Structure 1
């Protein structure tokens, strides 16, 4: 178990540092540190998402029996990805810190790196990214032990499908980079927004009804009867995983309403007002 975790602990921070240093030192680029940190963090998230979704596809398509079939990638990649969630909490904080400095909220004390300003930025980071930090912590403290110990080698198909939820992440990351560089009105941003919306809907929101449907097909049950046939803790876990996805999907839909609304037109009633 330790070997994949050590490999992940080296790979994700190492890729971040390599990307950041490359963006800062290449003569053709020479980006400021803030830009290099933010783009590098998005790059690592995208690489992890591609690896996770690829592993998930291999596992889910290899397991013909959705309960008993096993694939070595399911446990190996889960162990490899644990350090990513720990690293990403710190990477998100670095991104928040640099955005804070660029906006000039820190003043002289923040520039000097004094503890008071650090705690102020940390508090604002936790307030803004509380749900994401909670999600990452739950992946390490709850989902990882459950997937490695509690499953006892059962249900690799379902774990593979859950890994494929990361398909939407590269589109999310690219969208954030385009917004960072004020490219909201480009064709690339609009195409990426549509792909992000579609992939998030299919791979994160509709994923859970699909998993219930697959179990019902295996057990010979109609979809609506599956929740009653499963233990309460399984339904509770699925609900806790689905809840933040629904919230983030709402935010994506709100952004899509603003993105595709004609310029100068009043917002339609289904879309919340712009913050």
Structure 2
């Protein structure tokens, strides 16, 4: 068991260190905040790709019977890479938060302390709570409480990571100054589409699949599954809905800003031609 945990505990911090050492060589003008942010996003994308591949394998292998079919990756991936990644990611998010505010000149960020940790938790409370919920709710369910059933649904939860590489790519493109190119706009559409399908619509889909297996209507499924399963799903789904609303608002603001900029450019062009 310890060897399994060590593999993920070494992989993600190791990748983070490699990216953090390599990026300043390529992008010499980047600050520590830039390097840490991009390093964190690259590692998140690696984990997301691994989780997505594991999810596809588990889901495709357990379609015949979504309750009793088993695949070793359903529990092994959670233990080997899910737990170490969540623990690592909280630390990486803290570093990103710390350097971002240090670059801005905040006096509280002259060194690591309990105060900087407290400020981080308050600023990123929902993200920290999300990670803790996964560690304290999803982990026990995946490893102990489901009684060797429902590997299909664990695989579905792995698929929630599909949107992460698109989110990370968007932030990296902004970092390198490509936020106005067409690829960034396409990526933004992929963020919204993948986030909605794999982090929101996925949950009613899982309830529907469960209902199909037991010939139950969708509305009665929550009454036929354990309370801890419903609570776990709600704890995971609720922040996803909140973040999706934030993404939609951000996308709308960017659209309005670009539309206003284009309109001003067209007006200036008309006036220049008239003169």
- With the length of structure 2 as denominator, give the TM-score of the two structures: 0.87
Matches within 5 A, 1:238-253: 238-253=233-248
Instruction: Indicate conservation of the 8 Å contact 1:16/1:40, yes or no.
Output: yes
- The answer to whether structure 1 residue 191 and structure 2 residue 186 are counterparts is yes
Q: Which residue of 2 aligns with 1:205?
A: 200
CA distance in 2: counterparts of 1:96 and 1:198, whole angstroms: 27
Q: Count matched residues.
A: 257
CA distance in 2: counterparts of 1:231 and 1:240, whole angstroms: 15
Q: Which residue of 1 aligns with 2:99?
A: 98
CA distance in 2: counterparts of 1:173 and 1:128, whole angstroms: 20
**Structure 1 stretches of 5 or more lacking a match?**
266-275
- The answer to whether structure 1 residue 33 and structure 2 residue 28 are counterparts is no
Greater Rg by CA: 2
Q: Which residue of 2 aligns with 1:146?
A: 141
- The answer to whether structure 1 residue 68 and structure 2 residue 63 are counterparts is no
Q: Which residue of 2 aligns with 1:227?
A: 222
CA distance in 1: counterparts of 2:148 and 2:79, whole angstroms: 14
CA distance in 2: counterparts of 1:189 and 1:128, whole angstroms: 27
Q: Give the C-alpha shift of residue 153 in structure 1.
A: 1.3
Deviates most, 62-71 or 226-235: 226-235
Q: Which residue of 2 aligns with 1:270?
A: none
CA distance in 1: counterparts of 2:255 and 2:67, whole angstroms: 43
Q: CA RMSD in A?
A: 1.8
CA distance in 2: counterparts of 1:201 and 1:35, whole angstroms: 28
Matches within 5 A, 1:105-184: 105-106=106-107, 110-111=109-110, 113=111, 118-184=113-179
CA distance in 1: counterparts of 2:223 and 2:141, whole angstroms: 22
CA distance in 2: counterparts of 1:176 and 1:124, whole angstroms: 23
Q: Which residue of 2 aligns with 1:79?
A: 79
Instruction: Indicate conservation of the 8 Å contact 2:137/2:232, yes or no.
Output: no
- With the length of structure 1 as denominator, give the TM-score of the two structures: 0.87
CA distance in 2: counterparts of 1:244 and 1:104, whole angstroms: 31
**Structure 2 stretches of 5 or more lacking a match?**
262-275
Q: Give the C-alpha shift of residue 104 in structure 1.
A: 1.4
Q: Which residue of 1 aligns with 2:21?
A: 21
